């Protein structure tokens, strides 16, 4: 079975940094795109970043502050988040792409909460 | 960026009802559209992709249609487990974007 397990969330002050990790199992990790989606408290889903055969992509709201990467040997996806803002507070989900191109997201982790507050 | 608008924002219905949710894109996305279901405190669940292709394991009472800018998700006969929030997502171009969600409530 496909499993995605996020970690690394927590409480951080504005301007701080966090690195999220997502460990995958149950599929050949290198063959699929991966993505991060977040959900602010009581709000809808927001696509954050994706990594696929076409490279890396970011939402305008995080471009220049967040960096997505992957270690295929460790079956792990990362999201380095720098210069964090209060509005980055959310649950961060990693999700597996349906294809290597990653247009759709067929499996999701349980999410890791990030709170940015002084 | 492509803006996705869902309607209604919320809808009340009864078990056995037929419900349709609409999603409109701010520009043509061909058939690059997915639907997700989310229950409180849970991760989203993948339902439909390419506007009308049912993901494996999803009950056949769910169906999707549309192309270009206008899309619909229909649940033919609501079951108790279907009460949730539904999101559309465009997969035509980066940045991918979601609709604001439609909350399906029990009448």
> Mean pLDDT, to the nearest integer, of A65-76?
98
Which of A 80-109 lie inside 8 A of B, CB atoms? 93, 98, 103-109
Tell me the C-alpha distance between B17 and B5, whole Å: 23
pLDDT by residue for chain B (107 residues), tens only, comes to 999 999 999 999 999 999 999 999 999 999 999 999 999 999 999 999 999 999 999 999 999 999 999 999 999 999 999 999 999 999 999 999 999 999 999 98
Flag whether pLDDT at A101 surpasses 80.
Answer: no
Q: Give me the residues paired with residue A5 across strands.
A: A23
- Report CB contact under 8 Å: A93, B89: no
Q: Tokens 């993901």 identify what position? A: B55
Q: Closest-CA residue in chain A for B100?
A: A44
Tokens encoding A74? 């460790």
Q: Given this model, what pLDDT does residue A100 score?
A: 80
- Residue B14 three-state SS: coil
Give rounded-to-5 percent helix, strand, coil for chain A. Answer: 10, 55, 40
Flag whether pLDDT at A53 surpasses 90.
Answer: no
- Report CB contact under 8 Å: A104, B97: no
Chain A residues with CB-CB distance to B96 below 8 A? 35, 47, 50, 103
Tokens encoding A5? 């397990």
Q: Given this model, what pLDDT does residue A30 score?
A: 94
Q: Given this model, what pLDDT does residue A54 score?
A: 87
**Nearest CB to B87: which of A45, A104, A110?**
A45
- Report CB contact under 8 Å: B100, A103: no
Q: Closest-CA residue in chain B for A91?
A: B43
Q: What pLDDT digit, counting tens, does each position of A35-51 carry? A: 999 999 999 999 999 99
Q: Given this model, what pLDDT does residue B33 score?
A: 98
CA angle B68, B1, B54 (to 5 degrees): 45
Which of A 44-63 lie inside 8 A of B, CB atoms? 44-47, 50, 57-60
Choose among B88, B97, B81, B92: nearest CA to B20: B88
**B54: closest CA of chain A, how far (Å):** 11
């Amino acid at each position: 079975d496909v499993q995605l397990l996020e970690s690394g969330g927590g409480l951080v002050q504005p301007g701080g940094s966090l690195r999220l990790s997502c460990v995958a199992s149950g599929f050949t990790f290198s063959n699929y795109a991966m993505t991060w989606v977040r959900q602010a408290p009581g709000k809808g889903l927001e696509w954050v970043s994706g990594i696929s055969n076409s490279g890396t992509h970011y939402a305008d709201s995080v471009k220049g502050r967040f960096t997505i990467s992957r270690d295929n040997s460790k079956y792990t996806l990362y999201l380095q988040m720098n210069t964090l803002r209060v509005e980055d507070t959310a649950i961060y989900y990693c999700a597996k792409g349906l294809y290597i191109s990653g247009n759709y997201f067929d499996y999701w982790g349980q999410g890791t909460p990030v709170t940015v507050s002084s | 960026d492509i803006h996705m608008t869902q309607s209604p924002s919320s809808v009340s219905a009864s078990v056995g009802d037929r419900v349709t949710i609409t999603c409109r894109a701010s520009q043509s996305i061909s058939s690059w559209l997915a639907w997700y279901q989310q229950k409180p405190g849970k991760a989203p669940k993948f339902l439909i992709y390419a506007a009308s292709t049912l993901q494996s394991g999803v009950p056949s009472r769910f169906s999707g249609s549309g192309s270009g800018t206008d899309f619909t998700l229909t649940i033919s006969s609501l079951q108790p487990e279907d009460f949730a929030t539904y999101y559309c997502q465009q997969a035509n171009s980066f940045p991918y974007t979601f609709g604001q969600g439609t909350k399906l409530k029990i009448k």
